[in-house]
């Protein structure tokens, strides 16, 4: 059955494009026509030591791609295909793979490791291939180091692919024993040791039981710490990666090792090569993450407690940790500010310092201030930059009381530095630090204002001047202005920015038109800052915003006129269109929200809509998205008048709802449907058949990203609210979908926070749908149509109540639905409601909630229920 595929595989790597293409085609055909033979041929190729390395490597890769894909839908399809193959074929493929682990060719072994792990990922959860782990472990006792290395690598990949639940503890123990033995200093081969260390990284998730046992944990920790001192840099790096993973997975088990770990990490940060030192810093950042989370939960009003106690490791390490981090700040790279993806010791150190400040608050200030004072005026730019960076890093965490006096002193120094420092790095960091000052210490909630009428003008003058500096500095100056403006968002009638408003807008528009605005994302920053300035405009400055409308419209118009663009130019054009649509969105929101400006703004809506439709016609996902958002805003501003645009817009709406691949586009479009419902009310009716069809299609597709489902459910509610009893014809489709989603979400096993959060979003969406439908039918002669669903809805709420894992948002919506049920169906549901646990316990709980919104909904529900029960 197997075929000779060597030549095709070699051709598939040819430099000649046409040969390569042809070979790829034949492989694809082979796979489609006879999957069994295809897989057998590839595994035969991989196992044959006499074949060229290149063809073997590619055979393994193609094999892997036939078993796994990134996209979830495709992934499960491939898994199903593998499972449905003939058992003998599968056995033969597996045998070849296991045999390859003993190959003298490293690439072949490594590829086989990965493929074995993929198959394990498919089969172990189905309780298939039970002998795999046993046969791998028997390899460990082989004398040949290369077999040992390949086997450990395989175990590592396997742990990455498979979830801990499917491997029983006995096998976990054996895997960990093999891995930890492989890491031991007595292991002669450093390849084996490296493979073992990397395998441990993946196996840590399996070691829950072992980490609860003092002796086993001590042993694992000792071996990991020893590995951080290995001669091999890769082993050291990998061992530190293990420590990072341990710090987040087993935070509460670390107390007795912290002293040693501090010593090890401090040495690595100061002396080791950068990749190792970065991981050593990452260990402390990760501890900060844990403690910030725990302290957050301590401080939260819901539980005021955390499952895991805080051990205050950071607070204890502070006197030694802070100096270590400050040293790293002096190790900047020359061009790091121009490179968006840069990551080096200084950046990691500053980031960690910022986390430490958030963890310990005020305590960090006296430890950092001497460093700042000593270095901020030094002739070496590195010292001045490091001092500024240190200051910027600690602005979130310590109390305003502690920081404000220092900032008062520092502010004018910073402004001078931003204007006069000869070094761009220093100016860049200074502008960023100013932004941080405005972000955390300025705004309506801050008691002692940093910015006064006296210094406001000076600050603005400096920032607007810096916006003419080199792109990276100008970009940071925009950022500082952004946060400065944000602090004035709810200042009311007399904004301190008003006298400078026109100048600010002019300066920002000038930045957007700079030749070099493409560098350092300067243009993007300038537009987003402009948006923020629009957002904080007041009655006084609204006319200036109004003047901005034709300006931005003209810019957008010009992007549409450009012709014959290269693909690079087209991408830039699309990005610019996105920024302009975003800007219009904010302007529409702002001007449409106030009666005083709304009327004047209406003269532009026809032209704006026309521009948006032309942007849609360009068909690019990001533009689509931004224009879509802007249309939501326009719908609110125009209200029922939006009807005249519907005919032209509807095709794009439908297109957005069909966009499975770019699920954010789909989600935003679903949101816009809601906006339209509220704007058009029952005038949306003629479009509802099409919209509902798309939404139902979306829901039944397993390709659609799950995050879009909750908004789709909410959207059902929006539609029902808009069209009332006309929703009747959709009930038979929508209700069963809601019902089955409700059943799934009510009992969802949410063992991790992400799943719980998603589950609650889903519940909220479903409940919003019920609310909308019930309220939509209220006072209609057709309310009886909803009676058959009442029991299920109540049961859903009852189950949510008994599961005890809903968040505040769900609680509020759920108690509201209980009221809606009583409100709409009245005495017909009285007896049903009386029987439900929700009508008593849940209602009581909500009535006594501290959350005002929950209480309000509960008060209302109580009233509605009492009417329904008593008539």
Partner 1 sequence: MADEDVSPQSSYHRNAIKTSVHNTSAQRRRQLAVAVGKERREALIRTKRLCREALFDDNEASLEGNMNIDEERAVLNAQASQIIEDLKSAMTYQGKGAAQKKVEALRALRRLLSKSEIPPVKAALQAGAVPLLVQCLSFGSPDEQLLEAAWCLTNIAAGEPEETKSLVPALPLLVAHLGEKSSVPVAEQCAWALGNVAGEGDELRNILLAQGALLPLARLMMSDKGSTARTASWALSNLIKGPQPNAATELIRIKGVLDAIIQHLRNLDDELATEVAWVIVYLSALSEAAVRLLVKSDVVHLLVGKLASSESLQLLIPVLRSLGNLVAADSYMTDMVLVVGHNTTDQILLGLIKCLKSEHRVLKKEAAWVLSNIAAGSVGHKELIFSSEATPLMIHLLSSAPFDIRKEVAYTLGNLCVAPAKNAEQPSIIVHHLVALVNRECISAFIHLVRSADIQSAKLGLQFLELVMRGMPNGEGPKLVEREDGIDAMERFQFHENEEMRSMANGLVDKYFGEDYGLDE
Q: Which of residues 478-507 bind partner 1 (CB under 8 A)?
A: 478-479, 482-483
Binding region for partner 1 (CB under 8 A) out of 43-51, 248-256, 274-282, 553-561: 274-282
User: Which residue carries 């302007």 as its tokens?
Assistant: 587
- Candidate residues 75, 557, 598, 867; the one interacting with partner 1 per rule CB under 8 A: 867
Angle, helices 643-657 vs 621-638, to 10°: value is 150
Q: Yes or no: say if 203 and 242 are a contact pair by the CB < 8 Å rule.
A: no
Which conformational region is residue 744 in: left (phi greater than 0), alpha (psi within -120 to 50 degrees), or beta?
Answer: alpha
Which residues 93-122 are close enough to bind partner 1 by CB under 8 A? Answer: 107, 110-111, 114
Distances (CA, A) of 623 to 110, 263, 617, 627: 43, 52, 10, 6
Among 532, 555, 575, 798, interactor with partner 1 by CB under 8 A:
532
Q: Closer to partner 1 at the Cβ: 241 or 291?
A: 241
Contact segment (CB under 8 A) with partner 1 among 16-24, 132-140, 506-514, 520-528 equals 520-528
Q: Applying CB under 8 A, which of residues 398, 443, 487, 671 lies at the interface with partner 1?
A: 671
Residue 304 CB, shortest distance to partner 1, in Å, is: 28
Which of 89/671 has CB closer to partner 1?
Answer: 671
The footprint of partner 1 on residues 144-163 (CB under 8 A) is 160
Structure tokens at 855: 């209480």
Alpha helices in 162-308 (DSSP H): 169-183, 190-203, 208-212, 214-227, 233-249, 258-271, 274-299
User: CB of 563: closest distance to partner 1 in angstroms?
Assistant: 28
Q: Under the criterion CB under 8 A, does residue 537 sit at the interface with partner 1?
A: no
CB of 402 to partner 1, least distance (A): 19
Q: Residue-wise over 494-511: b if at least 16 C-beta within 10 A, else e?
A: ebbbbebbeebbebbbeb
Interface pattern 344-383 for partner 1 (x via CB under 8 A) = ---xx-xx-xx-----------------------------
- Residue 152 token pair: 């450990």
Q: How many residues make contact with partner 1 (CB under 8 A)?
A: 91
Q: By CB under 8 A, is residue 520 in contact with partner 1?
A: yes
Instruction: Please pick, from the candidates 138, 163, 703, 784, the single residue that binds partner 1 as defined by CB under 8 A.
Output: 784
Tell me how far, at minimum, the Cβ of 427 lies from partner 1, in Å.
13
Among 275, 496, 639, 690, indicate the residue that binds partner 1 (CB under 8 A). Answer: 275
Provide the CA 616 distance to its chain's centre, in angstroms: 27
Which residues within the stretch 582-601 sit at the binding site for partner 1 (CB under 8 A)? 582, 585-586, 589
Query: Does position 759 bind partner 1 by CB under 8 A?
Result: no
Could you give the CA distance from residue 607 to residue 602 in angstroms, rounded to a whole number? 10
Minimum CB separation from partner 1 for residue 677, in Å?
9
Q: Would you give the binding string for partner 1 spanning residues 44-63, x where CB under 8 A is met?
A: -------------x---x--
State the Rg of the chain over Cα: 31
- Token pair for residue 307? 């499952």
User: What span, in angstroms and rounded, lies between the C-alpha atoms of 751 and 745?
Assistant: 13
Q: How far is the CB of 39 from partner 1 (least distance, A)?
A: 19
Name the residue nearer to partner 1 (CB basis): 92 or 531: 531
Give the dihedral sign, CA 674/678/684/685: positive
What is the C-alpha to C-alpha distance for residues 799 and 126, in angstroms, rounded to an integer? 30
Q: CB-wise, 353 or 811, nearer to partner 1?
A: 353
Beta-carbon count within 10 A of 840 CB:
13
The minimum distance between CB 831 and partner 1, in angstroms, equals: 5
Q: Would you say 342 or 562 has its CB closer to partner 1?
A: 342
Which of 42, 221, 629, 657 is close enough to bind partner 1 by CB under 8 A?
Answer: 629
Alpha helices in 594-727 (DSSP H): 595-601, 605-618, 621-638, 643-657, 663-680, 685-700, 709-723
Rounded-to-10 torsion of CA 716, 777, 789, 735 = -20
Q: How far apart are CA 824 and CA 351, in angstroms?
A: 55
Q: How far is the CB of 455 from partner 1 (least distance, A)?
A: 21
Q: According to CB under 8 A, which one of 228, 714, 745, 761 is a site residue for partner 1?
A: 714
User: Interaction with partner 1 in 385-414: which residues (CB under 8 A)?
Assistant: 389, 392-393
Total H helices, total E strands in the chain: 42, 0
Instruction: Rule CB under 8 A: choose which of 129, 381, 636, 663 binds partner 1.
Output: 636
Angle at 267 between CA 264 and CA 269, to 5 degrees: 105
Q: Which is nearer to partner 1, 218 or 273 (CB)?
A: 273
Shortest Å, Cβ 693 to partner 1: 22
Establish if 828 lies at the interface with partner 1 (CB under 8 A). Answer: yes
| Interface with partner 1, residue 674, by CB under 8 A | yes
Query: In terms of CB distance, is 675 or 798 closer to partner 1?
Result: 675
According to DSSP, residue 839 is labeled I
Give the nearer residue to partner 1 in terms of CB position, either 628 or 741: 628
Minimum distance between the CB of residue 748 and partner 1, rounded to whole angstroms?
23
Torsion of CA 101, 106, 110, 111, to 10 degrees: -90
- Yes or no: say if 150 and 102 are a contact pair by the CB < 8 Å rule: yes
Nearer to partner 1, 89 or 159 (CB): 159
**According to CB under 8 A, which one of 594, 778, 799, 807 is a site residue for partner 1?**
778
Instruction: Report if residue 633 touches partner 1, rule: CB under 8 A.
Output: yes
Shortest Cβ distance from residue 127 to partner 1 (Å)? 28
Nearest residue (CB) to partner 1, 57 versus 624: 57
Residues in Cβ contact with 214 at an 8 Å cutoff, skipping those fewer than 6 apart: none
By beta-carbon proximity to partner 1, the closer residue of 705 and 867 is 867
528 binds partner 1 (CB under 8 A): yes
Residue choice 772, 818, 839, 843 for contact with partner 1 (CB under 8 A): 772
Q: Are 363 and 390 in contact (CB under 8 A)?
A: no
Q: Compute the residue count for the chain.
A: 871
Closest CA to 24 of 13, 32, 36, 33: 13
Nearest to 678 by CA among 637, 728, 713, 735: 637
Residue 512 binds partner 1, judged by CB under 8 A = no
Stretch that binds partner 1, among 23-31, 277-285, 305-313, 400-408 (CB under 8 A): 277-285
Inter-residue contact 622 to 664 (CB < 8 Å)? no
Residue 675 binds partner 1, judged by CB under 8 A: yes
Query: Where do we find the tokens 């058992």?
Result: 87
476 binds partner 1, rule: CB under 8 A: yes
Distance of CA 235 to the CA centre of its chain: 31
Supply the minimum distance, in Å, between the C-beta of residue 622 and partner 1.
10
Round to whole Å and give the CA distance between 210 and 801.
Answer: 36
Answer yes or no: are the C-beta atoms of 184 and 146 closer than 8 Å: no
- Is there binding between residue 285 and partner 1 (CB under 8 A)? yes
Question: Cα(708)–Cα(665) distance, rounded to whole angstroms?
Answer: 10
The one among 820, 821, 839, 842 contacting partner 1 by CB under 8 A: 820
DSSP state letter for 487? T
**Which 185-204 positions form the footprint of partner 1 (CB under 8 A)?**
198, 201-202
Q: Does 334 bind partner 1 (CB under 8 A)?
A: no
Nearest to 678 by CA among 633, 618, 709: 633
Q: Which stretch binds partner 1 (CB under 8 A): 376-384, 458-466, 581-589, 840-848?
A: 581-589
**Residue from the set 291, 363, 475, 575 that interacts with partner 1 by CB under 8 A:** 475
Q: Which is nearer to partner 1, 61 or 756 (CB)?
A: 61
């Amino acid at each position: 059955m197997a075929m000779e595929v060597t030549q095709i595989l070699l051709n598939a790597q040819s430099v000649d494009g046409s040969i390569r293409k042809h070979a790829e085609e034949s492989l694809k055909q082979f796979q489609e026509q006879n999957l069994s033979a295809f897989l057998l041929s590839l595994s035969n190729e991989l196992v044959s030591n006499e074949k060229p390395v290149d063809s073997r490597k590619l055979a393994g890769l193609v094999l892997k791609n036939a078993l796994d894909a990134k996209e979830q839908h495709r992934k499960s399809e491939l898994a199903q295909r593998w499972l449905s193959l003939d058992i003998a074929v599968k056995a033969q493929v597996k045998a070849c793979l296991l045999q390859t682990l003993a190959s003298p060719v490293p690439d072949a072994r490594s590829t086989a490791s990965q493929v074995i792990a993929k198959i394990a990922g498919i089969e172990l959860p189905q309780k298939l291939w039970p002998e795999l782990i046993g046969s791998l472990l028997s390899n460990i006792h082989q004398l040949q180091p290369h077999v040992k290395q390949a086997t450990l690598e395989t175990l590592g990949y396997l742990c990455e692919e498979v979830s801990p639940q499917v491997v029983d503890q006995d096998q976990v123990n054996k895997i960990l024993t093999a891995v930890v033995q492989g890491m031991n200093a007595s292991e002669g081969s450093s390849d084996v040791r490296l493979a073992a260390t990397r395998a441990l990284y993946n196996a840590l998730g399996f070691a829950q039981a072992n980490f609860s046992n003092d002796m086993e944990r001590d042993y694992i920790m000792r071996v990991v710490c020893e590995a951080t001192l290995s001669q091999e840099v890769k082993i050291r790096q990998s061992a530190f990666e293990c420590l990072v993973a341990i710090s987040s997975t087993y935070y509460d088990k670390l107390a007795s090792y912290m002293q040693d770990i501090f010593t090890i990490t401090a040495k690595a940060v100061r002396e080791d090569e950068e990749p190792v030192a970065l991981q050593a810093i990452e260990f402390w950042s990760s501890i900060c993450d844990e403690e910030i989370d725990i302290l957050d939960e301590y401080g939260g009003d819901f539980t005021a407690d955390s499952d895991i106690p805080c051990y205050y490791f950071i607070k204890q390490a502070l006197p030694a940790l802070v100096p270590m981090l400050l040293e790293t700040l002096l190790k900047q790279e020359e061009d790091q500010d121009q490179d968006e993806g840069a990551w080096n010791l200084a950046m990691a150190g500053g980031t960690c310092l910022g986390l430490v400040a958030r963890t310990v608050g005020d305590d960090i200030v006296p430890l950092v201030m001497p460093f700042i004072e000593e270095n901020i005026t030094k002739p070496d730019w590195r010292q001045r930059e490091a001092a500024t960076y240190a200051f910027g890093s600690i602005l979130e965490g310590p109390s305003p009381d502690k920081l404000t006096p220092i900032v008062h002193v520092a502010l004018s120094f910073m402004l001078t530095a931003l204007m006069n420092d000869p070094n761009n790095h220093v100016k860049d960091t200074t502008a960023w630090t100013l932004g941080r000052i405005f972000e955390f210490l300025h705004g309506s909630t801050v008691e002692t204002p940093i910015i006064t009428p006296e210094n406001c003008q000076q600050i603005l003058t400096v920032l607007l001047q810096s916006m003419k500096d080199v792109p990276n500095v100008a970009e940071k100056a925009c950022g500082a202005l952004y946060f400065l403006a944000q602090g004035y968002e709810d200042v009311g009638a007399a904004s301190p920015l008003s006298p400078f408003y026109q100048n600010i807008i002019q300066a920002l528009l000038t930045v957007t038109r700079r030749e070099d605005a493409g560098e350092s994302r300067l243009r993007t920053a300038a537009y987003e800052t402009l948006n923020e300035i629009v957002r904080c405009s007041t009655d006084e400055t609204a006319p200036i915003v109004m003047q901005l409308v034709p300006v931005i419209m003209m810019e957008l118009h010009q992007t549409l006129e450009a012709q014959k663009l290269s693909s690079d130019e087209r991408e830039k054009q699309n990005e610019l269109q996105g920024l302009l649509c975003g800007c219009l969105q904010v302007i529409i929101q702002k001007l449409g929200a106030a009666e005083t400006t709304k009327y004047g703004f209406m003269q532009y809506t026809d032209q704006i809509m026309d521009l948006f439709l032309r942007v849609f016609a360009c068909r690019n996902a990001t533009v689509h998205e931004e224009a879509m958002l802007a249309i939501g805003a326009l719908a609110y501003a125009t209200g029922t008048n939006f009807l005249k645009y519907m005919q032209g817009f509807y095709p794009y709406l439908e297109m957005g709802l069909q966009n499975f691949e770019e699920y954010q586009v789909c989600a935003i479009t679903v949101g816009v449907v809601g906006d339209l419902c509220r704007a058009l009310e029952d005038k949306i009716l003629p479009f509802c058949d099409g919209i509902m069809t798309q939404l139902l299609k979306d829901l039944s597709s397993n390709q659609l990203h799950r995050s879009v489902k909750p908004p789709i459910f909410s959207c059902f509610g929006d539609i029902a609210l808009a069209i009332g009893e006309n929703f009747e014809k959709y009930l038979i489709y929508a209700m069963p979908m809601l019902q089955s989603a409700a059943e799934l979400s009510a009992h969802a096993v949410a063992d991790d926070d992400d799943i719980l959060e998603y589950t609650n979003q889903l519940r909220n969406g479903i409940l919003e749908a019920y609310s909308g439908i019930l309220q939509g039918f209220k006072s209609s002669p057709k309310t009886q149509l909803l009676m058959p669903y009442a029991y299920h809805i109540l049961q859903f709420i009852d189950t949510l109540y008994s599961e005890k894992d809903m968040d505040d948002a769900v609680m509020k919506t759920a108690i509201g639905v209980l009221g809606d049920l009583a409100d709409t169906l009245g005495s017909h549901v009285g007896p049903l409601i009386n029987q439900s646990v929700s009508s008593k316990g849940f209602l009581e709980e909500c009535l006594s909630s501290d959350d005002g919104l929950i209480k309000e909904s509960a008060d209302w529900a109580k009233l509605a229920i009492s009417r329904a029960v008593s008539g």
